[in-house]
Amino acid sequence: MNQTFERSTTMNLIHEELARAHMAARLEQARSEQRGHQLATARRLSRKAERAAAQARLALARVI
């Protein structure tokens, strides 16, 4: 009886550890995807700002 209880407890601990590892991996994957989205957004906004600056320089050159 005692050996069965120990085996059952050990199996439960193994399953809990596997679940924790799985959740940690999924959280890391979500964070990685979020960083990718943030990087893409930053690049898009940077290109938009560069275009706006170029247009402002062009408009200023036309005025002068």
Residuewise pLDDT in 10s, the chain (64 residues):
567 667 788 888 999 999 999 999 999 999 999 999 999 999 999 999 999 999 999 999 999 8
Q: What is the pLDDT of residue 56?
A: 96
* Angle at 14 (CA atoms; ends 18, 32), nearest 5 degrees: 15
Q: What is the pLDDT of residue 27?
A: 97
Q: What is the pLDDT of residue 2?
A: 64
Domain housing 1: 1-64
Distance from chain centroid for Cα 42: 14
User: Looking at the 3D structure of the chain, how many domains does it have?
Assistant: 1
* Cα(56)–Cα(23) distance, integer angstroms: 49
Q: What is the pLDDT of residue 10?
A: 87
Q: What is the DSSP letter of 18?
A: H
Q: What is the pLDDT of residue 7?
A: 76
